[in-house]
Amino acid sequence: MDPQRPPMSLEEFRRIAPPHAVGIDGCVDAGPWRDFGSTGPRYVWNHHSHVDRLATRATCMQALLELRCGDLDEILRGSTGRPFAIVFADDCDADASSTIVILRRSELFAHPVNPLANRFVGAEDLMDTFAGAYPYPCDLELLEELAWIFQPYDDFRQEGGLERKIAAEYLRVVDLIEANIVQYLVGRGKRRKLDLRYDVLQTGNGWTMVREHGAQARTKMRDDGIRVFVSVHERTSGTRDVRIGKMHLHARGDLIAICNDLNAREGVAADRWGGGTNIIGSPKVAGTKLDDRTIMEVLNHHLGLPLAA
């Protein structure tokens, strides 16, 4: 777990990753990849960059399918006769934590006819593929189950833990989520009321700039008719985290082109804006220095409307 490291290239991962290595959920700037060379298997499971997100499973679902259909336990067996993996990660969010738990507790996920495991991973796959904006109704019990499972991450994010970039804290969040997932899979899961709060900051040509207060705000944002969102979060360091996402697949705007334009204005080489076809985000480690006017200028340029004076 290294939250202070910008996403590495596939070439760098291939150079440093030992046999049995798995790079997950955006820590490698590449689409899904596997190598069964003479020294042993290596994987990248990702759906954040260089992919069509609609056609690419979320990272946790890639892990589940590899486990069930790719004989992962057998392929990852080492000299001890027991399966093991060396996981590269840079986040402890719902998708990354779920992926790590699937590897850690593979015995709980391996059987294909497992209603609770299928319900949990299937829902997380959809929610993460659509950046929290899958059109589930706001009063769905399943969403309250996911809210309880991932409460450790939501609490950690709310109290500023993501900004500290301390690996041990991130791993502690994964441990807490693992405990909740295990309880859920044995029928002892709980529910948590959704926090749907958000503020509208500005509106533009087909986009809405918001500040998300609740962990499930995007479910309400979609329900309220927002088609493209720009979510901003101020860091204590003075930079910001910004996410730009499409609530509707055919909403106007090429997010990859917008991402490239924002990178040109950011002027950084390694820690860059990145993402896929329906959501992009500011540099993971440092955040963005771009102000609202610059971001709005880029959005309106790509959506065909000049910025008002």
Give the confidence band of 292 by pLDDT, cuts at 50, 70, 90: very high
Arithmetic mean of pLDDT over the chain? 93
Q: Is residue 16 part of a domain?
A: yes
Based on the domain organization, do 207 and 147 belong to the same domain? no
- The answer to whether 287 and 237 have CB atoms below 8 angstroms apart is yes
Give the confidence band of 309 by pLDDT, cuts at 50, 70, 90: very low
Residues in the chain, how many?
309
Q: Collect all residues with Cβ–Cβ distance below 8 Å to 50 and sequence separation of at least 6.
A: 29, 30, 31, 276
From the number of C-beta atoms within 10 Å of its C-beta (0-12, 13-18, 19+), residue 160 rates as exposed
Is pLDDT at 307 greater than 60 in this prediction? Answer: no
Domain boundary at 159, 185, 211, which? 185
Based on the domain organization, do 176 and 229 belong to the same domain? no
Is pLDDT at 100 greater than 90 in this prediction? Answer: yes
Domain boundary at 155, 185, 215, which? 185
Based on the domain organization, do 205 and 179 belong to the same domain? no
Q: For 156-181, what is the mean pLDDT?
A: 97
**CB-CB neighbours of 264 under 10 Å:** 10
Q: Collect all residues with Cβ–Cβ distance below 8 Å to 307 and sequence separation of at least 6.
A: 293, 296, 297, 300
Is pLDDT at 221 greater than 60 in this prediction? Answer: yes
Region of 81 (left: φ > 0; alpha: ψ -120 to 50; beta: rest) is: left
Based on the domain organization, do 28 and 90 belong to the same domain? yes
For the stretch 37-65, pLDDT in tens is: 877 899 999 999 888 888 999 999 999 99
Q: Is residue 295 part of a domain?
A: yes
Q: Is residue 193 part of a domain?
A: no
Q: Collect all residues with Cβ–Cβ distance below 8 Å to 254 and sequence separation of at least 6.
A: 302
Based on the domain organization, do 22 and 115 belong to the same domain? yes
Q: Is residue 5 part of a domain?
A: no
Q: For 113-140, what is the mean pLDDT?
A: 95
Q: Is residue 132 part of a domain?
A: yes
Report percent pLDDT > 90 for the chain. Answer: 83
Is pLDDT at 235 greater than 70 in this prediction? Answer: yes
Give the confidence band of 169 by pLDDT, cuts at 50, 70, 90: very high
Long-range interactions of 227-234: CB distance < 8 A, separation 24+: 227/251, 228/252, 228/253, 229/133, 230/295, 230/299, 232/201, 232/292
Q: For 97-110, what is the mean pLDDT?
A: 96
Residue at 148: amino acid letter? W
Q: For 86-92, what is the mean pLDDT?
A: 97
pLDDT on residue 308: 47
Is pLDDT at 268 greater than 60 in this prediction? Answer: yes
pLDDT on residue 305: 57
Q: Is residue 136 part of a domain?
A: yes
Collapse the DSSP code of 228 into the 3-class scheme (helix H, G, I; strand E, B; otherwise coil) and give the result: strand
Q: Collect all residues with Cβ–Cβ distance below 8 Å to 253 and sequence separation of at least 6.
A: 206, 207, 228, 246, 299, 302, 303
pLDDT on residue 156: 98
Domain boundary at 156, 185, 214, which? 185
Based on the domain organization, do 145 and 274 belong to the same domain? no
Pairing of strands 208-212, 198-203: antiparallel
Domain of residue 146: give its range: 10-185
